[in-house]
Amino acid sequence: MDLQGQSSGDDPGAHELTNARRFLDQAEVAFRGEPVGTVASLDPGAGADALNYDQVFVRDFVPVALLRLAEGRAGVVRHFLEAARELQAQGDSLYCYRPGAGLIPASFKVAENGQSLVPGYGGHAIGRVAPVDSSLWWLYLLRVYTRATGDWDLAQRDDFQVAIRRVLDLCLTGRFDMYPTLLVPDGSFMVDRRMGVYGYPLEVQVLFLMALRSADELLAATGEGPVYREAVQDRIGKLVYFLRTFYWLDLPTLNRMYRAGTEEYGLDAMNAFNIVPGSIPGWLLEWLPENGGYFAGNLGPSRLDFRFFSQGNLLAVLSGLADPHQAQAILELVSARAQDLFGAMPIKICFPAMEDQEWRTMTGGDPKNTPWSYHNGGSWPVLLWALAAAGVQLGRSGLVQSALDAALPRLQETRWPEYFDGRDGRLVGKEARLFQSWSMAGPLLAECLLSTGEPLGSAVFTEEILPEACPV
């Protein structure tokens, strides 16, 4: 296979997606004669500097899995789900330096002897952060696979029921916290470096909701299933109420925040988290469209992260976290601010980037997360799938089509990089690997959704959630 990816013929952009499919097929990893996933990157120039890009990452494989299901290739998804379940951490997790029981690894690879799979739980990762999102993605993907194929037997198997309950044990266990959200460290999900997202980052909260909703459908009606389902259902309504109430930002919300009092005490406090009105950033007052809105990036005591995080907000549409009005407001914001969020390469992982002293303080001067690079405002083609899923669901296909049309020729020309740099996304990321699997799968899945004109179906939660008010 020629990894230069040059298409032939008079139209240099005619075969972008065909080439991407070929590369994605080549990225598949086989174990015991069956495909179990795709490596993160096929970059031929990485060599000994491959780091862990030659492994199968759970979060990276999700868009590939959704694409395979859309193509009718469910076998690789089933094998992946089984492999990840076999690698789920077990045993006593009371001791340090051991993965918590129930943790799905961030990644795995085939051992040199070819006889086993070697998991990675974060102990060898840069920053040594255990993955929070992999367990949530796994549970969500199990639900998507089950609905797409009708293969309910897999999820109902005893070993899978145990695995589901172990994931829930990780999320619902007793803790020094009283909120319905999930407390996590910096760098524990797609934003996997220090970026000031410690606490309750939006993306994890939405994934948490997706995992809970998946478990609610998949838990068995016998044995311990009903006990866990009761706890899951109790958390779903409270989590949705909390996020819709305290994370949502639009002009009416900003007006209330601007005039809010501080130092309030008691359950009837209007400014429950003591957000100081002076913390509202000046850029937001001009950037937020009249009819737009979005979920803030994070929330904590006297702290609201006003940055727009793309994946969390797009998944909020797919998960049902966003009510119909909020879902339309999110897409209205994306459309109105496409110049900022799309630029030359869709789509920014967050906006705006941290710069100057804020960047030095919040990232520790991270040279990979310099302003408008990597996770600090870089552009990630993989997010096109979530944009397409939300856009098709809400009747905004034109917005997605224009973004995809602009992206495909450059992705082909630059050989499918992991991410792009610069305020307009015009530069290939300074440390981006090429032939990145999810950079190919994201646009391929987006194209698939646009061509059918239908939402992801099994990957979208269409049942309405009834929020349940809870004291703060």
**Average pLDDT of 257-283?**
91
Specify the CATH number of the domain 16-459.
Answer: 1.50.10.10
Report helix, strand and coil shares of the chain as percent, to nearest 5. Answer: 45, 10, 45
Task: Supply the pLDDT for residue 383.
Answer: 98
Whether the per-residue pLDDT at 14 is higher than 50: the answer is no
Provide the pLDDT for residue 342: 97
Of the candidate ranges 143-157, 310-324, 383-397, 453-467, the one whose mean pLDDT is the lowest = 453-467
Closest among 172, 273, 272 to 215, alpha carbons compared: 172
Quote the pLDDT of residue 96: 81
Q: Residue 126 and residue 176: Cα distance in Å, rounded?
A: 27
What does the chain come to in residues?
Answer: 472
Per-residue DSSP letter, 108: E
Look at residue 46 in the predicted model and tell me its pLDDT: 67
Q: Backbone phi, then psi, for 376, in 5-degree steps?
A: -95, 65
Report the C-alpha gap between 292 and 337 in whole angstroms. 10
How many other β-carbons are positioned within 10 Å of the β-carbon of residue 464? 8
Contact 123, 158 (CB under 8 A): no
Question: pLDDT-based confidence at 19, cuts 50/70/90?
Answer: confident
Q: Are 107 and 101 in contact (CB under 8 A)?
A: no
Q: Which residue has the tokens 């910096």?
A: 186
Would you state the pLDDT for residue 15?
59
Percent of the chain with pLDDT strictly greater than 70 = 95
Amino acid type, 408: L
C-beta separation of 398 from 387 below 8 A: no
- Per-residue model confidence (pLDDT) at position 123: 81
Q: Give 97-140 pLDDT, tens digit per residue.
A: 888 889 999 999 999 999 999 999 988 878 788 899 999 999 99
H helices within 219-369, ranges in order? Answer: 225-246, 251-258, 282-287, 310-319, 324-336, 338-341, 356-363
CA atoms of 278 and 287, how far apart (whole Å): 17
397 neighbors 415 (Cβ within 8 angstroms): no
In this prediction the pTM is 0.95
Q: Residue for token digits 């020729």?
A: 409
pLDDT higher at 444 or 43:
444
Mean pLDDT, to the nearest integer, of 87-106? 86
Beta strand residue intervals within 52-211, DSSP E = 56-57, 107-110, 117-120
Q: Residue 250 is which amino acid?
A: D
**What is the per-residue pLDDT across 340-380, written as a single tens digit (0 to 9) for each?**
999 999 999 999 999 999 999 999 999 999 999 999 999 99
The Cα diameter of the chain in Å comes to 70
- Sign of the dihedral through C-alpha 319, 321, 326, 329: negative
Domains of the chain by residue range:
16-459
What is the per-residue pLDDT across 415-471, written as a single tens digit (0 to 9) for each?
999 999 999 999 999 999 999 999 999 999 999 999 988 778 899 999 999 899 887
In Å, what is the CA distance from 56 to each residue of 90, 397, 438, 453? 20, 31, 11, 30
Rounded to whole angstroms, the Cα distance separating 65 from 61 reads: 6
Residue 77 has pLDDT above 70, yes or no: yes
Above pLDDT 90, what percent of the chain? 83
Q: Two tokens at 148?
A: 């797409």
**In this structure, how many other beta carbons lie within 10 angstroms of the beta carbon of residue 373?**
23
